[in-house]
Amino acid sequence: MSQLLSRALVSINWLSEALKTCKPGPALRVLDASFYYPPIRDGRKEYEEVHIPGALYFDIDECKDLGSPYEVMVPSEAYFAKYVGNLGINNETHVVIYDADQVGVYYSARAWWMFRVFGHSKVSVLNGGFRNWVKQGLPVTSEVVKPKPELFQAVLNPSLVKTFEDIQRNRNTKEFQLVDSRSEGRYKGTEPEPGEVIFPGHIPGSLNLPFTSFLTEEGFEKSPDEMMQLFQERGIDLSKPLTITCRRGVTACQLALASFILGKEDTAVYDGSWFEWFHRAKPEDRVTLWKDKK
At residue 126, φ and ψ (nearest 5 deg) are -80, 115
Tell me the catalytic residues: 246
Integer Cα distance of 226 and 59 in angstroms: 31
Integer Cα distance of 42 and 196 in angstroms: 20
Please choose, from the candidates 231, 251, 227, the residue with its C-alpha nearest in 3D space to the C-alpha of residue 242: 231
Which DSSP symbol is given to 200? -
What Å distances lie between residue 259 and 25, 91, 224, 229, CA to CA? 30, 24, 9, 12
Which string of DSSP letters, residue by residue, matches 83-146? HHHTTT--TTPEEEEE---TTS-SHHHHHHHHHHHTT---EEEETTHHHHHHHTT---B-PPP-
